[in-house]
Chain A
Amino acid sequence: MAAVTFNNISKRYKDGPKAVDDLNLEITDGEFMVLVGPSGCGKSTALRMIAGLEEISDGELRIGERVVNEVPPGDRDIAMVFQNYALYPHMTVRQNIGFALEVAKVRKDEINRRVEDAAEMLGLTEYLDRLPKALSGGQRQRVAMGRAIVRSPQVFLMDEPLSNLDAKLRVQMRSDIIQLQARLGTTMVYVTHDQVEAMTMGHRVAVMRKGVLQQVAPPQELYLRPANLFVAAFIGSPAMNLITADVTIEKATGGDQPDDVFVSFGGHRLRISPKALDRYPGLRERNGTKVIFGLRPEHFAMEEDLEVGDDQILTIRCDLAEAMGAEVHIHAVIDVPPPAVDGAPIAAEDDPEALVAGTKVIARVDGIHTIAMGQDVRLAVKTHLTHFFDPASGAPLR
């Protein structure tokens, strides 16, 4: 087991942009680190650099104490699970799992013992003499895992290992991998684009975008205190609502009364709880300017479910109501242009077809309500939980 350290790592492809730009990341010994981000963010490249499948253009990569920039993949003492499993189609499960040991010229009986141990651990014992094509997707996935664990490597690398499985199996395998990693205690680097996997599996999650590391933090921290607009928008499903809003601060009349903060956008005006100011003190300096106001879907409630003042009610027209059972997602459009990160509207990044004339808002309310399309809905807003970002830099107003 070993730590993995990225020191100013960059990856540049010939006449392309940097796939990974000055990455500094320390993955500690025994840690389960998830790399997450949209496609093309460089997470897979970073993983493949650890594996030695991509050359490192700049910087220094260490596994444990050893600098491995020039170490060939087979000598790095790592194991990788690929998205498409990459099993050897002409070998049985036993040969697949034992191949690395065979290459390393381990004694036959030792190979057998270790392969059988790994198979036992993964519930593959009865499939040992089958070919991969005779296995289901979940079983192939487990064979790929077996191939990794049989070598007891320093580091496990997993490249979207669950994305080819159906939803039910994915949930099952997710918990299996978590337990396996906890039991073996091996350092794990896990790449995914699925934020549910990222949130549930990682000790820490590294969010990447266009080759640049955005934030590394435990999942809950990532959710509660996003380091910038991108992380705020990326983590959470449905995503955080981000609305460009004007801030008005009215000086309190009484001595120790807190100031009144208002945000207004598209004809709406909300009073923000003073508690939000404690979390985002930078907001005080923003009187009369535009900020990006972030509101998670669960920060809404139907008016009758939450007692708030009249100035903390948002009235919107429901464009679409999705009844999910436990909750209802209310989709609406606020009449302000969507906020932009680096000039591109956020909504357009995930979905270029998205409506860009207004800002889409999704509210998640309790499932007991029946909401019709086209109906005006009065929503109470938990304003003390809201987030605020600088529209130019995307940085939180902390």
Chain B
Amino acid sequence: MSVRRKGPKATAIRIITYVLLVVVAVVVVFPFAVAVTTSFKRNTDIFTYPPSLIPKKDSTIPAADVGLDGDPVPVFTFPARDDRPGRWALVDADASLAEFRPLDDLERVIVLDVKAGEKTGATVTIDGEEEDVFLVDDGGTQVEAYRSRLTSGGLFVSVDDPSTSVLDLVNFATPAREFGPRFANFTEVLAEKDPETNGKGVGRSLTNTVLVTILVVLGQIITSILGGYAFARVQFKGRSTIFLVYLGSVMIPFVVLIIPLFQLMLQVNWRDNLVALIIPFAFTAYGTFLMRQFFLGIPAEIEEAALLDGASRSTILWKVMVPLARPAIATLATFGFLYAWNSFFWPLVIINSGNPDNAVLSLTLSTLGGRSSTDTNLVFAGTVLAMTPPILVFLFAQRYFVENSASSGLK
């Protein structure tokens, strides 16, 4: 480690550097954070105003807390009523209520129990109807009012003091919200496609993608090791020419190959078949080149020593060379993984019958957005499922990347 610069100027530079880095990091990470948090939200919460990063659910408390049995009880607040602070549990959503209107202010509504109030015996005529006059309690004072409506509403019990309760119309109360991720998003998006259960069928695609990716990566590793070793160490006629041609194929863009490859797949009847996603990609000129370069860097004496130890070519390859080439193999596996996992265009072309059983994740995700755009939370859940494995792979493999680049500089 080098000695750090000191002094106010160096400190200022360091502060500016860190501020800039943090700003850039936030800008880069923010969309990612939105995607992850949205994948845990309820669908109704996604487009609320003000927007929130935190997935929330309606608060409830256990029924036992308010002396009841059964399901948890929803919690409400009355933000407009200063006389009802705190949280209130809705213990009965179907209580019988009566709306009273005071005779001196017909616009006001006093909500009370249906049995509340005492008939005075007098009557009053409202809008041509004759109504009885009641004496009702209005916040401690008795006022004369008529009963304008009989209805049903909520019986709320204070969470803080279960002995106090109020009656009110439920839509006068605001549901209380608390942190609550919705894990069902993931089970729903993974579940078999079914409008009943809101299943999106991503699970099948995920399985397909995992299968394709594993086979492509294994295939690439095996063919690259064999090819790279042959090009590095086995003497045969035309070796450098073949290698040059092979390496030259890296220069051909994939779009050029799509039509011939598609025709070839039709010939061998692999259209709409996962094999078409595996076999053509189990060979990689880049990987062969990578392994060849790595094998060339291993001193020939190590191989000669193994030869003298009586090892055969294949023993040398699998017991000596391959263990030494672990960093290169990790690099190759990571690239192969990312390629196979993210590939979209070729599957779109070749898995084309609309048969979801053979679709891969990238395909399903692309249709998920259009097909069920009402379920934005599910789209994001699918997206998070799709991007988690590459991130994990990169985190595990980056040690090898670093090792790979460091070992080239130092002995």
A residues engaging B (CB < 8 A)?
Answer: 51-53, 72-75, 78-80, 82-84, 86-90, 99-100, 103-104, 147, 151
B305 touches which one: A72, A75, A80 (CB < 8 A)? Answer: A80
| Contact across chains for B304 and A99 when beta carbons are under 8 A apart | no
| Contact across chains for A100 and B304 when beta carbons are under 8 A apart | no
| Contact across chains for B323 and A73 when beta carbons are under 8 A apart | no
Which of B1-9, B37-45, B130-138, B308-316 is the interface stretch? B308-316
Give every chain B residue within 8 A of A103 (Cβ-Cβ): 309-311, 315
Q: Give the CA-CA distance A104 to B315 in the complex, in Å.
A: 11
A86 touches which one: B299, B311, B315 (CB < 8 A)? Answer: B299
Between A and B, 15 residue pairs with Cβ closer than 8 Å are A51-B304, A53-B307, A73-B308, A74-B307, A74-B308, A74-B309, A80-B304, A80-B305, A86-B299, A86-B302, A86-B305, A88-B320, A89-B302, A99-B309, A100-B309
Give B318-346 as 1s and 0s: 1 = Cβ < 8 Å from A's Cβ atoms. 00100110100000000000000000000
Give every chain B residue within 8 A of A83 (Cβ-Cβ): 301
Chain A nearest CB, measured from B93 CB (Å): 70
A86-B301, A89-B324 given as contacts; is B310 within 8 A of A79 (CB)?
no
Looking at B301, B320, B323, B326, the one whose CB has the most chain A CB atoms below 10 A away is B301
CB-nearest residue of chain A relative to B322?
A: A90
CB-nearest residue of chain A relative to B326?
A: A90
CB-nearest residue of chain A relative to B323?
A: A90
CB-nearest residue of chain A relative to B320?
A: A88
The 3 A-B pairs with the shortest beta carbon distances in the complex, nearest first, are A74-B310, A86-B301, A100-B309
Q: Give the CA-CA distance A84 to B320 in the complex, in Å.
A: 17
A88-B320, A90-B323, A103-B315 given as contacts; is B307 within 8 A of A73 (CB)?
yes
Give every chain A residue within 8 A of B311 (Cβ-Cβ): 74, 99, 103
CB-nearest residue of chain B relative to A100?
A: B309
A90-B323, A103-B315 given as contacts; is B309 within 8 A of A84 (CB)?
no
Looking at A75, A78, A87, A99, the one whose CB has the most chain B CB atoms below 10 A away is A99
Known contacts A80-B304, A86-B302, A147-B309, then 6 further A-B pairs from the complex at CB < 8 Å, ordered by chain A residue: A53-B304, A74-B307, A86-B301, A86-B304, A103-B311, A147-B305
B302 touches which one: A52, A80, A88, A100 (CB < 8 A)? Answer: A88
Q: How many residues of B contact A (CB 8 A)?
A: 17
Give every chain B residue within 8 A of A82 (Cβ-Cβ): 301, 304-305
Give every chain B residue within 8 A of A147 (Cβ-Cβ): 305, 309
Give every chain B residue within 8 A of A89 (Cβ-Cβ): 302, 324
CB-nearest residue of chain A relative to B305?
A: A86
Q: Give the CA-CA distance A180 to B310 in the complex, in Å.
A: 23
> Binding site of B, secondary structure by majority: helix, strand, loop or mixed?
helix
B residues engaging A (CB < 8 A)?
Answer: 299, 301-302, 304-312, 315, 320, 323-324, 326
Give every chain A residue within 8 A of B320 (Cβ-Cβ): 88
| Contact across chains for A104 and B323 when beta carbons are under 8 A apart | no
| Contact across chains for A79 and B323 when beta carbons are under 8 A apart | no
Q: Give the CA-CA distance A78 to B312 in the complex, in Å.
A: 16
A84-B299, A90-B324 given as contacts; is B310 within 8 A of A104 (CB)?
yes
Q: Give the CA-CA distance A79 to B309 in the complex, in Å.
A: 7
Give every chain A residue within 8 A of B323 (Cβ-Cβ): 90
A88-B320, A89-B324, A90-B324 given as contacts; is B301 within 8 A of A100 (CB)?
no
Give every chain B residue within 8 A of A72 (Cβ-Cβ): 307
Give every chain B residue within 8 A of A84 (Cβ-Cβ): 299, 301
Give every chain B residue within 8 A of A151 (Cβ-Cβ): 309
Give every chain A residue within 8 A of B301 (Cβ-Cβ): 82-84, 86
Chain B nearest CB, measured from A128 CB (Å): 18
Give every chain A residue within 8 A of B299 (Cβ-Cβ): 84, 86
CB-nearest residue of chain B relative to A89?
A: B324
| Contact across chains for B310 and A51 when beta carbons are under 8 A apart | no
A75 touches which one: B302, B304, B306, B310 (CB < 8 A)? Answer: B310
Chain B nearest CB, measured from A351 CB (Å): 29
B306 touches which one: A51, A78, A90, A99 (CB < 8 A)? Answer: A99
Q: Give the CA-CA distance A100 to B299 in the complex, in Å.
A: 19
Give every chain A residue within 8 A of B326 (Cβ-Cβ): 90
Q: Give the CA-CA distance A236 to B358 in the complex, in Å.
A: 80
| Contact across chains for B306 and A80 when beta carbons are under 8 A apart | no
A86-B299, A86-B302, A103-B315 given as contacts; is B324 within 8 A of A80 (CB)?
no
CB-nearest residue of chain A relative to B307?
A: A73
CB-nearest residue of chain A relative to B304?
A: A53
Chain A nearest CB, measured from B338 CB (Å): 27
Give every chain A residue within 8 A of B305 (Cβ-Cβ): 80, 82, 86-88, 147
Give every chain B residue within 8 A of A73 (Cβ-Cβ): 304, 307-308
Give every chain A residue within 8 A of B308 (Cβ-Cβ): 51-53, 73-74, 78-80, 100
Q: Give the CA-CA distance A84 to B324 in the complex, in Å.
A: 17
Chain A nearest CB, measured from B308 CB (Å): 5
Give every chain A residue within 8 A of B307 (Cβ-Cβ): 52-53, 72-74
Q: Give the CA-CA distance A88 to B324 in the complex, in Å.
A: 8
CB-nearest residue of chain B relative to A53?
A: B304
Give every chain B residue within 8 A of A80 (Cβ-Cβ): 304-305, 308
Q: Give the CA-CA distance A97 to B308 in the complex, in Å.
A: 13
